[in-house]
Structure 1
Amino acid sequence: MHPVSHTASDADGGGPLSRLALGPTGERARLGLLLVSFALLLVVGLALPHAAAPDLGPRGWAPGTLLPVTLSPALVTAAMWTAYVLGAVGVLLAVLGRGTELPRSFVAALAVGAALTAPFGSGDHVSYAAYGRILALGDNPWLVSPVTWRGGSDPVVSAVEAPWTEEPSVYGPFATIVQGLTSLGGGDNLRQTVWLWQLVVIASWLAVRWCLRRVLPGREGRIDALWTANPLVFSVGVLGAHVDLLATALAVGAVWAAHRYAGLGGAALAGTLAALAISSKFTYAVVLLALVVAFPARRLARSAVLLAAAAVVAGGLHLWAGPHVYDQLGRSARAVSLATPWRWVFETLGGDLDARRTVSGLAALLAVGFALCLWRVVRPAHAGLGATALTGVAVLTGAYALAAPYSLPWYDVVVWATLPAVVAGVADLVLLLRLWVMSMAYTPGRVLGMTPGVEDVTMTARTSVAPVALLVAWVWLVTSAVRGGSRRRPAGPPRDSAPRR
């Protein structure tokens, strides 16, 4: 690997953590931690099916298992936890330091490594394949549950794992169309279908990096430190093959389009990409709000075109999909994760439907409060539209991830895609604690394949340790905001404020 290069602009001059920049020894230690973390994660993905990775059946023309070794549930859990600890420390050192720009060869190696693995950390990718298969063969994945479709005998759809066998799709029409296209390419073979979906996810991960490097010139090191070389994001997002990567790439692409093209055409393109993000996962609607706020007040026409394009594209997709697209969304919105402090509130209130409604209402209020706190403790790195919009997305999605009653580690992917736009500060630390805690809590991630001993240990981490740690993150954010945030004028010159054509 070629030596990494420091980018002078990556030092957040005047930022609250800039005085803690690492020396050469600290930087070497950081890179060593990251390399070990990535290696452990790739070993987990390259091994035979195990407690974190479902069996995808015959490989067909897709990559097969490269490491013909069987990892026990305990070994898989230990490897993932070790990788997450080392990776979190590596990211922490990057936040405290200046960040380094990765050589292209290293980024390419990570992408190739991801393409050779089998997804792990959940069984969601099997559900994606099933919903795409149902759509590709002419049925409605928002109405039909996998266990009932064609008598449960289909070679792809029948592989869906508990607890999702009876659940129709909760994903938006655009994501489901992409899943349908991968199903057409993969045919009757589950491994082939999943591998094509993995390529979509890897391309989305690379696209986010490409867009960020153009929206945030001079911050390549921080982009790579928080996004590209973040083992936690790489594991839960890329190696987990989650749809959140596709939605994140579309959201960041919308910001890039508005930043790159100053006219109404840029606003239309941004609105289109934002609509596709929303039509993948509804929570990504925040990108529209962030862009409207970031547009200059005198450019009302741009905001109007942005919203009109988003309405036309998203509306057309939803009309095509039918009225049942988000039937499952209301149910999932009332769910309460075991790993959040809300579980205590839910159980204290009786654990019934009224308790779920109360928790949902309180969480919505807390999310607003967290957004105000984050807005107080962050500041954009540049004064231009791109950095301002990305900062807005980081604040809104970060507040949602922290406050949501039902939350999983891959919900944080969009947060870390947009954090490079802000000056290093306490928000990085709070959100790193949140991502690390949730990644540890949802290891190995499936409800199948664990021994009783491993299940006891992981459930203790999920139900007892994680809620306390997340409560610490809540208190840390609020007290930091109350003591006085760092929000001042943007750091550095307004590099991206001039129109780009």
Structure 2
Amino acid sequence: MLRADQLRWTGFAGVLLLLVVTALIKGPVLAVGIAGMGLLVLSWFLLGRDVPDSRWLRWTLVLWTAPLLAAPPLFSGDLHSYLAQGEIASRGLDPYTVGPAEGLGAASAMTERVSGYWRDSPSPYGPLFTEFQQWIAGIVGENPVAGLLAHRFVEIAGLILIVWATPRLARAAGVAERVALWLGVLNPLVLWHFVAGVHNDSLMLGLMLAGTALALDALGERVEWARLTWGVVLVAAGALVKLPAIVALAVIGTALARRYGATFGRLVLWGGAMVLAMAFVATAVSVGTGFGFGWLRTLGTSGSVNSWMAPTNWFGFLTGGIGSLFGASITQTMIGVGKVIGYAVIVVGVGFVIHRQLTGRLAPVLALGAMLGFVVVFGPVVQPWYVLWAAIPLAACLPAGRPRTWLTLGLALFSVLLPPSSGNVVGLIVGYAGGAVVVGVGYLLLTRSARPAAAPETTLNQSTLDNSSGG
């Protein structure tokens, strides 16, 4: 049987390999970085055979996270947009009206670091995150290294909230806390995109999950209204970082409606209460920060780029490709049609989940994961880190068996879908091929002396999967 400590240090070695090549991420050297990614993914995956205790997992998360704190932004350049938007706000301009090129000047070093897709785009983020951006810009100025460290601190704060909330959601769903931590928090997507990639989704999810955990915990034998109120405020705050967190208010409102009668009238009553609470918090933050409500106009900014991972865009790519054979330029029009269809599916899907939760056929945590699943899959943009919106609550509630196994496999796949940095086609092919060889050798070395053993909670061994008591 593999020892957990072997996997812990193999994963750590993978993180170090990734860091060593971040300054030389070209050509064959990319294979070393991808090999590092693969070793960590492999170590995490094999831990699922016999998940260690929660304390061990938390310390492993600290070990794997620590080196990444010193890494440059990896997997995405969104951090440069964050820094530019913060500088715009710090100069007294409206980040919801002007983009980096207009606000800072096209020749600005900060503007040049922003992706060409977003240099003319205003901020798509909520006023709470924009306030953080402005604070950071006011402290560090245009220093990109200090800005990186400051934003990484904010996202680590979000990760701490996720680590706090996930076991509590797992307890509410009857799932082993250690499995929820391993699958939901220790998974490589969290490390790559919340820590190394510095995405504000970490803060959004941390606030949303912490608020949901507080609110659901308040609905015991006797409703604890103060705790419930704080939970709702935290969820609303998460939505003022990125709007998708708002679906957690639907889960809380439905849980309240079910508690007080599970009727349509109660659903409308408590749903309305959640809407009013969101409006109150949004108004307080929007007015209090001085940014106003301009953020409502820019919510669709991220959808202006046609995401190849979004299923709703595949319709447009396919029909547009067929149309081009006949001289018709219809790709963008059909992508627009696909997005409208996607929005309709989200509305119907969320409504269906609310109905199932109200009638007691879906537990609240599973309802949250399902709603966010609809938002991710049928939204206009899909990025690997968006998968975590649904994956973390699902990790906290899915029972042992095929659903959890499929989630594990999906997270492993998305963890290697993007290279740590861009490269040419030849470099990427060589990089992934070389990385696959190293990971294959690592797997053989790790499992050579392994002996089969039964585990009380497992994801990868199907025979114990189906008989596990973890959910």
TM-score by length of structure 1 reads 0.70
Deviations 1:64-114 (A, max 9, x none): xxxxxx3424433x3454355445455544556555424354343334323
Partner of 2:280: 312
- Unaligned 5+ runs, structure 2: 261-265, 321-329, 434-468
- 1:358 aligned partner: 337
In structure 2, the CA distance between the partners of 1:212 and 1:123, relative to structure 1 (3 Å rule), is: same
2:14–2:38 contact (8 Å) kept in structure 1: no
Choose the corresponding residue for 2:68, options 97, 107, 114: 114
Give the one of 132, 137, 140 matched to 1:178.
132
How far apart, CA to CA, are the structure 2 residues paired with 1:420 and 1:79?
33
5 Å-filtered alignment, 1:230-379, equals 230-261=187-218, 262-295=223-256, 297-299=258-260, 306-318=274-286, 320-333=290-303, 335-350=305-320, 351-364=330-343, 367=346
* Matched residues, number: 407
Q: Cα deviations across residues 429-476 of structure 1 (Å, max 9, x unaligned)?
A: 334444444443332454xxx23523678999xxxxxxxxxxxxxxxx
In 2: Cα distance, 1:372 partner to 1:87 partner: 38
> Deviations 1:17-44 (Å, cap 9, x if unpaired)?
xxxxxxxx15x3x764554344323443
Which of 11, 14, 18 is equivalent to 1:44? 18
Q: Deviations over 1:170-221 (max 9, x none)?
A: 1111111112222222123111011011011112112211122344347331
Alpha carbons of 1:445 and 1:396: their partners in 2 closer, same or farther (altered >3 Å)?
farther
2: distance between equivalents of 1:333 and 1:150?
23
Deviation digits for residues 118-177 of structure 1 (CA, Å, limit 9, x no counterpart): 221110111111111111221111111112223235454443233322222111111111
Deviation at 1:360, TM superposition (A): 1.1
Q: Say whether the 8 Å CA contact 1:37–1:231 is kept in structure 2.
A: no
Percent identity, please.
21
State the Cα deviation string for residues 408-438 of structure 1 (Å, max 9, x = none): 0011222232122332333333344444444
Tell me how far 1:313 sits from its aligned partner: 0.7
CA distance in 1: counterparts of 2:344 and 2:62, whole angstroms: 43
TM-score when normalising by structure 2: 0.74
Alpha-carbon contact 1:267-1:303 (below 8 Å) kept: no
SS at match of 1:325: helix
In structure 2, the residue matched to 1:420 is 396
Offset from partner CA, 1:308-344 (integer Å, 9 cap, x none): 3322011333454234314343353364322355554
Q: Distance in 2 between matches of 1:404 and 1:431?
A: 19
Counterpart CA distance in 1 for 2:428 and 2:379 is 25
> Distance between the aligned counterparts of 1:138 and 1:83, measured in 2?
43
- Whole-Å Cα distance in 1 between the matches of residues 425 and 65 of structure 2? 35
Q: 1:247 touches 1:278 (CA, 8 Å); kept in 2? A: yes
Structure 1 residue 242: Cα displacement: 0.3
Counterpart residue identity of residue 451, structure 1: N
Structure holding more helix per residue: 2
Whether the 8 Å CA contact 1:209–1:223 is kept in 2: the answer is: no
Contact 1:336 1:406 in 2 (8 A): yes
**Aligned-partner Cα distance in 1 for 2:213–2:153:** 22
Question: 1:390 aligned to 2:365?
Answer: yes
The answer for the alignment partner of 1:16 in structure 2 is none
Q: Which runs of 5+ in 1 are unaligned?
A: 1-24, 50-69, 461-489, 493-501
Moved more, 304-313 or 120-129: 304-313
Tell me, yes or no, if the aligned pair for 1:268 and 1:305 is still in contact at 8 Å.
no
Matching of residues 375-454 of structure 1 within 5 Å: 388-418=363-393, 419-446=395-422, 450-454=423-427
Name the aligned partner's letter for residue 278 of structure 2: A
Shift of 1:296: 5.2
- SS of the residue 2:416 aligns to: helix
Q: CA–CA distance in 1 between the matches of 2:430 and 2:343? A: 31
In the alignment, the residues of structure 2 paired with residue 74 and residue 317 of structure 1 have an alpha-carbon distance, to the nearest angstrom, of 49
Distance apart, 1:291 and its partner CA: 1.4
**Superposition pairs for residues 79-228 of structure 1, below 5 Å?**
79-94=32-47, 97-98=50-51, 100-103=53-56, 104-217=58-171, 219-228=176-185
Residues in 2 aligned to 1:375 and 1:454: alpha-carbon distance in whole angstroms: 47
Partner of 2:457: none
CA RMSD of aligned residues (A): 3.7
Q: Are the equivalent residues in 2 in contact too, given 1:136–1:183 (CA < 8 A)?
A: yes
Contact 2:167 2:396 in 1 (8 A): no
Is contact 1:46-1:116 (8 Å) kept?
Answer: no
C-alpha distance in 2, partners of 1:143/1:73? 40
Q: Which amino acid in structure 2 is aligned with residue 169 of structure 1?
A: S
CA distance in 1, matches of 2:44, 2:63: 19
Mapped partners of 1:357, 1:121: distance in 2: 27
1:297 alignment partner, SS class: helix
Give the Cα separation in 2 of the matches to 1:74 and 1:343: 33
CA distance in 2, matches of 1:134, 1:398: 34
Letter in 2 for 1:134: I
Distance in structure 2 (CA, Å) of the matches to 1:273 and 1:47: 39
- Partner of 2:382, secondary structure, is coil
Rounded Cα–Cα distance in structure 2 between residues aligned with 1:459 and 1:336: 25
CA contact (8 A) 1:81 1:443 kept: yes
Aligned partners of 2:227 and 2:276: how far apart in 1?
13
